[in-house]
Chain A
Amino acid sequence: MGNTKNMVARIPNLVDWSTGEVRLMSAKCNSCGTYFFPKEHYQHRPGCSREGVEDGLLPNKGKLASYTVQYYPCPPPFKTEKNITPYGIGLVEFENEKIQVAGIITDTDLKSLKLGMEMETTTLTMFTNEEKQEVVTWAFRAVK
C-alpha cells in the first residue's frame, strides 16, 4: 500500500483503508445473519424480515479457499498501466463471517499458493488518473 492520501478506488464502496488496514466493505443482516459483499449484494435467507442491515468491514486477514492463475490478459473495461499477466485470482474465506470473497492476488509468488494459507487484504494500483491519483482495487497477498 502506497501513500493512501493519494489513492482512490476505481469503484467506490468496496474497499476501505481509513482504519490503517485495508478491509473490504461488507454489510451484515442482523435478522438472518448473512454477510454481503458487495454490501448491496443482498442475499437474505428466505423468510428473513430484512430488518437491521448494518454496514461493516471484513477482517483484514482470511484463508485461501481457492485460486487460479489467469494466463491471458483480461479484456477492457479492466485496465492497468503495466501488464500484470499472468496474474493470480484468489477466493479468500473470512471464517467468522462465513463468506468467501474473490480478488486479484498481488505481491505473492504464484508458485507458492496453497489452499488454506493465510492471506491479507491489500490494494493494487491499476493506473494513475488525470488528477495524478493512484486508482486502486482490492487485492490479496500471502501473509509474510
Chain B
Amino acid sequence: MRDVYVIGTGIHPWEGFSEKVFADFAAVAVGRALKDAEIEWKKIQSIMAGIFIYGGNAGHLSGQYLESIFGETGVPVVNVYNACATGSAAIRMAFNSVAAGEADTALAFGADVSPKGFLTAKSDNAVQDRDVIRWKMTAMPNPVYWALECRKRMAKYDTTEEDLAQVKVLMSEYGSKNPDARFKKAYSLDEVLKSAYVCDPLRLYEICPVSTGAAAVIVTADKELIRKADRPVKINATTMGSSMYGDPTIRISALSCPAVPEAPMLSESYSASRQAYEKSGMGPQDVDLLELPDNSSWHYLVYLEVCGFCKEGEAEKMLRDGETRIGGKVAVNPSGGFSSHGEALSAQAIWQVIECASQLRGRCGPRQVENPKVAMAQTYGLMGNSGTTILSV
C-alpha cells in the first residue's frame, strides 16, 4: 500500500434551506479543492461521490452530475450512501483506490441541500422499510432516540443539565469563529438552559438541525503533486464500522434494543475507531484534535468514551475540567461541530476531515489549535454506520 496525502480541500459554507441545485454546491466545493491542490481537473483519475438521497435520480448519481459540470473524462465514478457516514465511505474508497495503485489522484465529495419541511419516512412499505413503523406508530423523530439514551446516561453517571448546556456553550464559541459554520452566535450557559425542551432532557440548542453544505477532498500518492502542495496531510487510516450483536443502543429507526449489553454502545463507532487505531498504530493518546459527531450534547459526551478518550462515565469530568477545550488534553470540535453546522448528510463526514486537515495545516485563524500533529474525524450514521479517519503532519 502507498502513502496517501490530502493535497486539496474545498467547502461550500453551511446554510439553511435552499432553492439552489445540489450540484452547484458540489461544484463550488470541488472547484475550491482543485484550486487548493493547484491541479487541473484532468488530473482526477477516480471520483467517489456521496449520494444525496433527496435529489432523486440526480442525487443518486451525484458523481455523474458533478463530472459533467467539470467535463466528462471517462474515469471511474462510484456513488455511495451510508447515512451520515456517507462521506466517510467516499473518502475510504478514494483512499483505498490510491493506496492500492489503481489511481494516483482521486476526488471524494458530498453535497446535500436541506429540503423544505421535515425529513420523515422515504417509503410507505412498513414490511420492507421499518423506518415507516416509527413514524406511523411511535412518533419518534431522531432526537427522541438521543433523549432516551441521554436519560439513561444521566441516571447512570449523574450527568447534569449544566453539562449538556456547557457542550453548546463551547461549540457555539468555536462556531462563532468559523466562517463556514451556519450558526455563528456564541451562547451563554444561561441562554442554553433557558431554551425550550424539544424532548427532555434535550433542549433546542442541544440538538443539531438539518443544513445545506458541500465538501470535497483530493487525495494523491503522486510524489510530484505532494511535493508542490501547500502542507500536504497524510491519511494514516480511514475505516468504516458497522454495529455489533448485543449493542444496547437504541438505533435511530429501530423500535427495540437489547436489554443486556453484549457489545459496546454505538458499537459501529467503536468498531470504526478501533480499526483506525490498529491500522495507524496510533491511539487516543496521540490525537491532538478530535472532530466527533455532536448531533446532540449526549453524543459529545458518549463519543469521548466510545472512541476511548476516557473511560466510561468520565466524559463529564473531562468536559468540566476543560480537557476537551482548545488548549486542553484533546481539542474537541474546534470547528464548532454539528451544533454550529447542522447535518448535511453526504457532506458532513468530509467536512469533518477537512477541519482536521485545515487544523494540521495551520489555517484555522482564531480557532486554531496550537501546532497539532495528529487529528481524528469520527462519524455516526443511523442504523449502524460509522467512519473514522486519522490524519497527521
Show the binding face of A for B, using Cβ within 8 Å.
Answer: 10-11, 14, 36-38, 40-41, 43-46, 65-72, 74-79, 84, 87, 89, 91, 93-95, 97-104, 115, 137-138
- Across chains A and B, which 7 residue pairs bring their CB atoms closest together, nearest first? A68-B147, A74-B139, A75-B118, A37-B256, A137-B137, A68-B199, A66-B148
Q: How far in angstroms is the closest Cβ of chain B from A63?
A: 10
Q: Is B260 an interface residue (CB 8 A)?
A: yes
CB neighbours (8 Å) of A115 from chain B are 151, 155
**When A102-B255, A137-B137 are in contact, do A77 and B148 touch as well, CB less than 8 Å?**
no
- Asked whether A38 lies within 8 Å of B259 as measured between CB atoms, the reply is no
Q: Can you pick out 26 interface pairs between chain A and chain B where the beta carbons lie within 8 Å of each other?
A: A11-B133, A11-B136, A37-B256, A38-B256, A41-B256, A66-B149, A69-B200, A72-B141, A75-B118, A75-B120, A77-B124, A78-B139, A89-B139, A89-B148, A91-B148, A93-B259, A99-B256, A99-B258, A100-B258, A102-B134, A102-B256, A103-B137, A104-B138, A115-B151, A115-B155, A137-B136
CB neighbours (8 Å) of A77 from chain B are 120-121, 124, 132, 135-136
Show the binding face of B for A, using Cβ within 8 Å.
Answer: 117-118, 120-121, 124, 126-127, 130, 132-141, 144, 147-149, 151-152, 155, 196-202, 245-246, 250, 254-260
CB neighbours (8 Å) of B149 from chain A are 66
Residue of A65, A74, A87 touching B152 (CB-CB under 8 A): A65
Closest chain A residue, CB of each to CB of B262:
A45
CB neighbours (8 Å) of B202 from chain A are 68
- Asked whether A89 lies within 8 Å of B138 as measured between CB atoms, the reply is yes
Whole-angstrom CA separation of A75 from B155 in the bound complex: 30
- Asked whether A70 lies within 8 Å of B138 as measured between CB atoms, the reply is no
CB neighbours (8 Å) of B127 from chain A are 40
Whole-angstrom CA separation of A45 from B144 in the bound complex: 27
- Asked whether A78 lies within 8 Å of B135 as measured between CB atoms, the reply is yes
- Asked whether A71 lies within 8 Å of B256 as measured between CB atoms, the reply is no
CB neighbours (8 Å) of A46 from chain B are 245
Residue of A11, A79, A89, A97 touching B144 (CB-CB under 8 A): A89
Residue of A65, A87, A103 touching B259 (CB-CB under 8 A): A65
- Asked whether B198 lies within 8 Å of A71 as measured between CB atoms, the reply is yes
Residue of B141, B196, B245, B246 touching A75 (CB-CB under 8 A): B141
Whole-angstrom CA separation of A75 from B136 in the bound complex: 10
- Asked whether A99 lies within 8 Å of B140 as measured between CB atoms, the reply is no
CB neighbours (8 Å) of B136 from chain A are 10-11, 77-79, 137
- Asked whether A102 lies within 8 Å of B141 as measured between CB atoms, the reply is no
Residue of B118, B124, B132, B148 touching A102 (CB-CB under 8 A): B148
Whole-angstrom CA separation of A50 from B246 in the bound complex: 16
**When A70-B144, A77-B121 are in contact, do A138 and B137 touch as well, CB less than 8 Å?**
yes
**When A43-B245, A115-B155 are in contact, do A98 and B258 touch as well, CB less than 8 Å?**
yes
Q: How far in angstroms is the closest Cβ of chain B from A3?
A: 21
- Asked whether B139 lies within 8 Å of A38 as measured between CB atoms, the reply is no
Closest chain B residue, CB of each to CB of A63:
B259
CB neighbours (8 Å) of A40 from chain B are 127, 130
Whole-angstrom CA separation of A59 from B278 in the bound complex: 44
Residue from A75, A78, A102 whose CB has the most chain B CB atoms within 10 Å: A102
Other contacts beyond A71-B200, A102-B255: 9, CB < 8 A? A38-B255, A70-B198, A71-B197, A89-B138, A89-B140, A89-B144, A99-B258, A115-B151, A137-B137
- Asked whether A71 lies within 8 Å of B250 as measured between CB atoms, the reply is no
CB neighbours (8 Å) of A41 from chain B are 130, 254-256
Closest chain A residue, CB of each to CB of B200:
A69
Whole-angstrom CA separation of A71 from B207 in the bound complex: 14
Whole-angstrom CA separation of A98 from B117 in the bound complex: 38
Whole-angstrom CA separation of A103 from B127 in the bound complex: 18
CB neighbours (8 Å) of B124 from chain A are 77
Whole-angstrom CA separation of A89 from B140 in the bound complex: 8
CB neighbours (8 Å) of B200 from chain A are 68-69, 71
**When A40-B127, A77-B120 are in contact, do A137 and B138 touch as well, CB less than 8 Å?**
yes
Whole-angstrom CA separation of A69 from B144 in the bound complex: 8
Q: How far in angstroms is the closest Cβ of chain A from B161?
A: 14
CB neighbours (8 Å) of B201 from chain A are 68
- Asked whether B245 lies within 8 Å of A99 as measured between CB atoms, the reply is no
Q: How far in angstroms is the closest Cβ of chain B from A56?
A: 14
- Asked whether B137 lies within 8 Å of A99 as measured between CB atoms, the reply is no
Closest chain A residue, CB of each to CB of B126:
A11
CB neighbours (8 Å) of A45 from chain B are 245-246
Q: How far in angstroms is the closest Cβ of chain A from B182?
A: 20
Residue of A37, A66, A68 touching B255 (CB-CB under 8 A): A37
